[in-house]
Amino acid sequence: MNVVSGAKAPEVTDLHRAAERLEGVAHRTPVMTSSQFDDITGARVFFKCECFQRMGAFKFRGAFNTVASLEPAERARGVVTHSSGNHGQAVALAAKLFDHTKAYVVVPKNAPQVKLQAMEGYGAEIVLCEPTMAERESGATQIIERTGAALIHPFDDPRVIAGQSTAARELIEQAGRPLDLILVPVGGGGLASGTALAARYFSPSTRVIGCEPAGADDACRSVELGRRVPVESPATIADGLRGQLSQLTFELIHKYVDQMVRVQEADIRAAMRWVWDRMKILIEPSAAVPVAALMAGQIEAGGKSVGIILSGGNVDIEAVIDHG
Amino acid sequence: MNVVSGAKAPEVTDLHRAAERLEGVAHRTPVMTSSQFDDITGARVFFKCECFQRMGAFKFRGAFNTVASLEPAERARGVVTHSSGNHGQAVALAAKLFDHTKAYVVVPKNAPQVKLQAMEGYGAEIVLCEPTMAERESGATQIIERTGAALIHPFDDPRVIAGQSTAARELIEQAGRPLDLILVPVGGGGLASGTALAARYFSPSTRVIGCEPAGADDACRSVELGRRVPVESPATIADGLRGQLSQLTFELIHKYVDQMVRVQEADIRAAMRWVWDRMKILIEPSAAVPVAALMAGQIEAGGKSVGIILSGGNVDIEAVIDHG
């Protein structure tokens, strides 16, 4: 069964295989609840804490599933990606854990030193480039031509999407009751696509709501127009959500995500701070976007059981507070 | 069996009853691990996350067990405590949850507004007083004389200690392997006493190590001298650990805590920040003290299975960063 145009949407067998590959490698992250949050929102909310995932974000799931999906001969030539953020760390760690596969990460020169160090700590070879998308892609292409390494895209890949689906699948299992809604942040759309597929296959009565910063709302606009539109001058503290959908993630979201909501910056900041101060969980701004949608009353959730995927915790605390 | 001089040390039946009373009321907080932390320390470390406990600290356990232990007629007159911190919130919440018992909390005028609001949010009646210990105690005494309310001490009470023991008991169960060591912060000594008793009764081969800021080391000095000495001008960021032992907690710690270590301020700050940045768990400075003892190499832990009780997460982030 292949339900989306093009040949690339992951099927249910791909989701099963991803869960098997990640078993015992990815953390089965805890699901937390907060009676205070329930009092505020009138819902019963289950927070899936992917900020506690290896390297601090759900991205590890997709990266590892993809590295593990490669043919041995292919993997022997290494893997490559370009990233200034979580995905680079995810590929570096996934490669290290899967039989010490060689990983190359093309990183823009202006990326934070701490992220470079994390990738190097996982054993990746860092290739610095000028901070433009063209230079990043050209840097990765040169490595592929020279080494034959396999490109690991951050979201435009059914293996990556299948890996990301495992977070929502675990949440569905761990909640211990049927979920009426799952809220998920939308950036490039890999997590949202995987979440929508997990709900479709493992909890068909659950509605999936994609949450996007109003300042980077290409997914909202794309779904409204029925065709993929570019993100223009993204302006949001949620740095993980500034990218835009690929054709594949657009089609999956258009078809299987039940609703999209735009979230205001002030609400994102307030929600992030609430989770820090009350739940003691250090989430990154991108992870606060669905929390904000619920706290700001943008989603009808009274009396409902709601899952929220707290997508990651890689935040520069001082920078975020200074901006606050 | 009463193993300590005086008649007040909790017995194993008290520990069992406390666990029963807290079942389904206190969170069974998750135990987290970090392969990075294990790499740094050479140990296998299990973090018991009491920062995720109700009201953000283990203190809820002892307060609730004590409120639940009162005779109905006694409880009907209400409970009282004095506190500028976690214990006041713990008593307020415990009273609310146990049949909406009336709670009075005497709070020094200079306590943070946010803590006052939290206690009021739990329905407690706040009585402000001058910020001296004499005024706090006199304020509580006046309320007792007027209302007949029962005093809930933060640590000098076998019911409180029995409640705190449940954190270590859960950790012993959740670790899934025998623990060689459990590290616990020492302030007034309620958590350390409860932890030592839990190890004694439920995991006798586990050694318990008390960790104290060098700038507030009355417990270390008391154990060294074999008699209780006062804390003098405590100077530490770990605001939860500035108090001093009672006779009861001194005797329990002297008898059942296997080792005491002093931890330096710079190590406490570095450990707190490491847990924030790498584990994404917002711990308060007091909770970082045992983490620091291990990271700074003050404890022989290579190859060992080690439990650490992350005691709480109620931290003023801006204040702690500004001081950093």
Q: How far is CA B262 from CA B40, B177, B216, in A?
A: 20, 28, 9
Contact of A313 with chain B, judged by CB distance below 8 Å, is answered with: yes
pLDDT band per the 50, 70, 90 thresholds, residue B104: very high
What SS3 class is residue A215? helix
- The pairing of strands B125-129 and B150-151 is unpaired
Q: Which pLDDT band holds residue A322 (cuts at 50, 70, 90)? A: low
Please answer whether residues A38 and A295 qualify as being in contact, where contact means their C-beta atoms are separated by less than 8 angstroms: no
Contact B280 A313 (CB under 8 A): yes
Query: Among B166, B177, B146, which Cα is nearest to B63's?
Result: B166
The torsion region of residue A280 among left (phi > 0), alpha (psi -120 to 50) and beta comes to: left
- Average pLDDT, integer, range B223-240: 91
Asked if residues B132 and B110 have their Cβ atoms less than 8 Å apart, the reply is no
| Confidence (pLDDT) at B58 | 98
Q: Which residue has the higher pLDDT, B306 or B4?
A: B306
What are A118-174's pLDDT values in tens digits? Answer: 899 899 999 999 988 889 999 999 999 999 999 999 999 999 999 999 999 999 999
d(CA B100, CA B212): 36
Give the three-state DSSP class for A83. coil
**Is the per-residue pLDDT at B1 higher than 70?**
no
The pair of structure tokens assigned to B124 is 């407690």
Evaluate whether B293 touches B263 at the Cβ level (below 8 Å): yes
If DSSP codes are grouped into helix, strand and coil, which group holds residue A306?
strand
Summary count for chain B: helices (H), strands (E):
14, 10
B52 touching chain A per CB within 8 A = yes
Residue B319: the pLDDT is 87
3-state helix, strand, coil in chain B (%, to 5): 50, 15, 35
Inter-chain CB proximity B282 and A281 less than 8 Å: yes
B52 closest CB neighbour out of A32, A54, A282: A32
Q: What is the pLDDT of residue B200?
A: 98
In order, the DSSP letters of B232-247 are -S---S-GGG-S---H
Q: How confident is the model at residue B323 (pLDDT cuts 50, 70, 90)?
A: low
pLDDT in tens, A47-67: 999 999 999 999 999 999 999
Yes or no: say if B27 and B53 are a contact pair by the CB < 8 Å rule. Answer: yes
CB atoms inside a 10 Å sphere around CB B43? 21
Answer whether residue B4 shows pLDDT above 50: no
d(CA A299, CA A316): 29
In this prediction, residue A5 has a pLDDT band, given cuts at 50, 70 and 90, of: very low
pLDDT band at B232 (very low <50, low <70, confident <90, very high): confident
Please indicate if any CB of chain B lies within 8 Å of the CB of A39: no
The reply to whether B225 touches chain A by the CB within 8 Å rule is no
**B96 among known catalytic residues:** no
A111 in B contact zone (CB under 8 Å): no
Cβ of A317 within 8 Å of Cβ of B52? The answer is no
Q: How far is A23 from chain B (nearest CA, A)?
A: 16
Q: Which fold has domain B60-151?
A: Rossmann fold (3.40.50)
The per-residue pLDDT of chain B, averaged, comes to 94
CATH of domain A2-58+157-323: 3.40.50.1100
Residue of B nearest to A313 (CA): B280
Residues of chain A with CATH 3.40.50.1100: 2-58+157-323, 60-151
Residue of A nearest to B277 (CA): A314
B133 touches chain A (CB under 8 A): no
Backbone angles phi, psi at A83, to 5 degrees: -170, 145
Mean pLDDT of B191-210: 98
What is d(CA B322, CA B133) in angstroms, rounded to the nearest whole number? Answer: 28
Residue closest to B190 by CA, chosen among B223, B216, B166: B166
Helices (H) and strands (E) in chain A, counts: 14, 10
Asked if the Cβ–Cβ distance from B280 to A276 is below 8 Å, we say no
Distance from CA of B144 to the nearest CA of A (A): 31
Q: How many CB atoms lie within 10 A of CB A134?
A: 9
Q: What is the pLDDT of residue A3?
A: 40
The answer to whether the CB atoms of A51 and B280 lie below 8 A apart is: yes
E strand or H helix at B45: strand B44-49
Mean pLDDT over A79-94 rounds to 93
Q: How far is CA A272 from the centre of its chain?
A: 17
pTM value is 0.93
Please list, in sequence order, all residues whose beta carbon lies within 8 angstroms of the beta carbon of residue B187, skipping any fewer than 6 positions away.
B155, B216, B238, B240, B241, B242, B243, B286
Q: At what angle do helices A218-225 and A247-256 cross, to 10 degrees?
A: 70
A225 exposure class (CB count in 10 Å sphere: 0-12, 13-18, 19+): exposed
Contact A317 B318 (CB under 8 A): no
Instruction: Judge whether B291 and B267 are in contact, CB under 8 Å.
Output: no
pLDDT of residue B5: 41
- Catalytic positions of A are 59, 84
Q: What is the pLDDT of residues A159-204, one digit of tens each?
A: 999 999 999 999 999 999 999 999 999 999 999 999 999 999 999 9
A78-82, A109-113, A218-222: segment of lowest average pLDDT = A109-113
What does the DSSP 8-state code read for residue A275? I
Q: Give B243-277 pLDDT, tens digit per residue.
A: 889 999 999 999 999 999 999 999 999 999 999 99
Determine the pLDDT at residue B317. 92
Instruction: Report which secondary-structure segment, H or E, holds B93.
Output: helix B86-97
Of the candidates B37, B66, B59, the one whose C-alpha atom is nearest the C-alpha of residue B287 is: B59
Q: Which chain A positions have a beta carbon within 8 Å of B35's beta carbon?
A: 54
Half-sphere exposure of A268 (CA within 13 A, CB side): 29
For residue range A195-250, list pLDDT tens digits in order.
Answer: 999 999 999 999 999 999 999 999 999 999 999 998 888 899 998 898 889 999 99
- Give the pLDDT confidence of B123-180 residue by residue, as tens digits: 999 999 998 888 999 999 999 999 999 999 999 999 999 999 999 999 999 999 999 9
Mutant choice from A122, A282, A311, A321 vs B, greatest count of B C-beta within 10 A: A282
pLDDT band at B113 (very low <50, low <70, confident <90, very high): confident
Record the tokens describing residue A116, joined without a space.
Answer: 């470079």
Cα dihedral sign, A62-A68-A71-A76:
positive
- pLDDT of residue A7 exceeding 70: no
Taking the CA of residue A132 and the nearest CA in chain B, the distance in Å comes to 28
